[in-house]
Amino acid sequence: MLPRRLALAGLPALIAAPLRAEPARDGFRRRWAEFRDRFLAPEGRVVDTGNGGISHSEGQGWAMLCAARADDRAAFERLYAWTMRVLKRPADELFAWRFRPEAGVDDPNNATDGDIFIAWALLEAGDRWGRPEWQAQGAAMARDILQRLVRPAGDHLLLLPGLRGFERPGQIVVNPSYYAFPALRALALAAPDPAWFQLVVDGLSLLRRGRFGRWRLPPDWLAWTRGEGRLAPAQGWPARFSYDAVRVPLYLAWAGLTEEPGVTGPARFWQEHAPRMLPAWTDLSNNQLSPYPASRGTAAIAQLSRESAGLSGLSRAARSAPLHGEDYYSSVLVLLVDLAALDRGMS
């Protein structure tokens, strides 16, 4: 367990200093334009083509950040207008997580990672285009995230995945991939509070301890036992390192925390299987591998993780290829890897 007094290498800077966003380069702008043209509906919602055509706050937040970085103000304003009109919750600064074309918003619960990325995107867009009201909204969201979505668990702080449904008798369920460390830095700067530092330290402790299976990998969903602080893959979801958990090494590497086991463990896992088929997931209870390969988006995270861990070079040629044939989620992961590589000076 991470001692409270311990200052990890680079951790004070993670909260105290802004991550300097590198200007988008032509390759990223081209891939963003392709993503926009394929997945952004005219009304401003991002269509999840691999999930029944739904839209969700996570996709809106990711796309808003990418539009801001690509200096695509028209797309950003379309995204923002639809997100505010359809997903904004009336009683707080958070957003409903899911919209179905045939039913509208059918679940008003929020998704914390969606809120985190929407807030980050508003802060960047407000700074880029001189819109202080967007920055003020991003800061207000940051305060609501800290006040409403962070829970004490013993002497730790945990980040709830949403307002409802994750606090169980005897357990709190968390999603390790919601600890988006570069975004948390931006929110901490916009709404300063010492609790951000503790949330980051405790999040790193959680990711260090919450690893399972032969390759010691984080699960998509993780349960914290109240009182004991024992960690286990959460019941109700497959015990897999899969579509959610692949974002753990992405966000750690993006934040420069490249020596964390949340980067080095997945990097070794992917390095071991890279000569053959890169698996889409592994079952952490029996080490079974998926019978089908990972998407290009997961492969891009694998490349970023392996370079960050010093295991291989990043294939810029592979990342610069068009996104033709990839679904929404794979495509947006490629864009996020692009941004991480730009911010870390790796491209």
Q: Known catalytic residues? A: 58, 113
The CA distance from 333 to 329, in Å, is: 6
CA 186 to chain centre: 14
- Contacts of residues 72-78 at CB distance under 8 Å and 24 or more positions apart, as own/partner, are 72/32, 72/33, 72/36, 73/125, 73/129, 75/36, 75/40, 76/121, 76/125, 78/40, 78/42, 78/43, 78/44
Q: Which two tokens stand for residue 248?
A: 């753990």
If DSSP codes are grouped into helix, strand and coil, which group holds residue 110? strand
Burial level of 187, CB count in 10 A (0-12/13-18/19+)?
buried
Separation between Cα atoms, residue 93 and residue 87, nearest integer Å: 11
Q: How far apart are CA 337 and CA 302, in angstroms?
A: 10
Cα separation, 2 vs 201, in Å, equals 7
